[in-house]
């Protein structure tokens, strides 16, 4: 049965999308069958896999409104081993359209139930806010993986996110766990990066992944070519780090 991981942090620019794309591709390169669900209206995970997000008949928006089934909107094998449920800017309206809909927190979960047996991993990229789309991702997921940027304000907002995870666990999805924290944009040359890592480890009783995702130009360039880092530059520090993270995630099963 597929293990479902939501990648969430209400702060923007912390590496959620980068982690969704590259962790998925790295898991696939290790022989895992992966489905990526993009629940961010920006659709950056969708375009990061080379999908033209503006010309799609069925996306997660149509899925959430009940206009198509999950099978209708899966784009199969965008790269070997990775399929995608795409997103685009239309999704921004979903929140409003769901007002008054019964059990709206479970729409995604109910759909994913139909297909989760077919994948080893389902990775859900969440929007940078704690809204109904993020709640849907968390009611669907087994665990939440939180990317944290190595910067001074890293811990800010994290307690709020953990509080949200605990609320969802308490009221909507008793199976939900914290997968852990992964550090992104790590710069070994600065004391700050090292201090942030130590500070979070000390103050957080959560699992912290050993893999540190470095600041890496190649990692930043890859999405503009519609490729994950392991296909854009397999020898880069970024590619090696995500391979390492994939190994850690697999070991956690």
The residues spanned by each domain of the chain are: 3-251
pTM across the whole model: 0.95
Task: Tell me the average pLDDT across 104-125.
Answer: 96
Asked if pLDDT for residue 180 goes beyond 70, the answer is: yes
Task: Tell me the average pLDDT across 197-201.
Answer: 79
Specify the DSSP class assigned to residue 43.
-
* CB neighbourhood size of 129 (10 A): 14
Task: Tell me the average pLDDT across 155-166.
Answer: 84
Rounded to the nearest integer, the mean pLDDT of the chain is 91
Give the pLDDT score at 87: 97
Domain 3-251 belongs in CATH node 3.40.50.300: yes
Distance, in Å, from the CA atom of 136 to the CA atom of 134, rounded to the nearest integer, reads 5
Q: Are 39 and 95 in contact (CB under 8 A)?
A: no
pLDDT tens digits along 25-72: 999 999 999 999 999 999 999 999 999 999 999 999 999 999 999 999
In this prediction, residue 1 has a pLDDT band, given cuts at 50, 70 and 90, of low
Antiparallel, parallel or unpaired: β 82-85 and 121-125? unpaired
Tokens found for residue 94 = 């979903």
Asked if pLDDT for residue 211 goes beyond 70, the answer is: yes
| C-alpha to C-alpha distances, 160 to 85, 99, 184, 209, nearest whole angstrom | 28, 24, 19, 20
Q: Are 87 and 59 in contact (CB under 8 A)?
A: yes
* CB neighbourhood size of 83 (10 A): 22
Tokens found for residue 127 = 């929007």
Asked if pLDDT for residue 161 goes beyond 80, the answer is: yes
Give the pLDDT score at 227: 96
Closest CA to 39 of 103, 110, 115, 129: 129
Distance, in Å, from the CA atom of 17 to the CA atom of 184, rounded to the nearest integer, reads 11
Distance, in Å, from the CA atom of 99 to the CA atom of 80, rounded to the nearest integer, reads 38
Q: Are 108 and 65 in contact (CB under 8 A)?
A: no
Distance, in Å, from the CA atom of 253 to the CA atom of 237, rounded to the nearest integer, reads 25
Task: Tell me the average pLDDT across 87-101.
Answer: 89
């Amino acid at each position: 049965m597929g293990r479902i991981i939501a990648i969430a942090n209400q702060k923007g620019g912390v590496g959620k999308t980068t982690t969704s794309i590259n962790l998925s591709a790295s898991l696939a390169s290790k022989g895992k069958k992966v489905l990526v669900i993009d629940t961010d209206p920006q659709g950056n995970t969708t375009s990061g896999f080379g999908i033209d997000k503006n010309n799609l008949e069925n996306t997660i928006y149509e899925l959430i409104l009940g206009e198509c089934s999950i099978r209708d909107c899966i784009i199969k094998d965008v790269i070997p081993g990775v399929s995608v449920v795409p997103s685009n800017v239309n999704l921004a309206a979903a929140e409003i359209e769901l007002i008054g809909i019964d059990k709206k927190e479970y729409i995604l979960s109910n759909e994913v139930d139909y297909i989760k047996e077919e994948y080893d991993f389902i990775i859900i990229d969440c929007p940078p806010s704690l809204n109904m789309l993020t709640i849907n991702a968390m009611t669907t997921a087994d665990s939440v993986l939180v990317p944290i940027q190595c910067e001074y304000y890293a811990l800010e907002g994290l307690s709020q996110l953990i509080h949200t995870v605990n609320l969802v666990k308490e009221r909507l999805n008793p199976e939900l766990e914290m997968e852990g924290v992964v550090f992104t944009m790590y710069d070994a040359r600065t004391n700050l990066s090292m201090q942030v890592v130590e500070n979070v480890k000390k103050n957080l009783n959560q699992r912290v992944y050993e893999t540190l995702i470095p600041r890496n130009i190649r990692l930043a360039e890859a999405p503009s070519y519609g490729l994950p880092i392991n296909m854009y530059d397999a020898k880069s520090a970024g590619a090696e780090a995500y391979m390492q993270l994939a190994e850690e995630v697999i070991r956690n099963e």
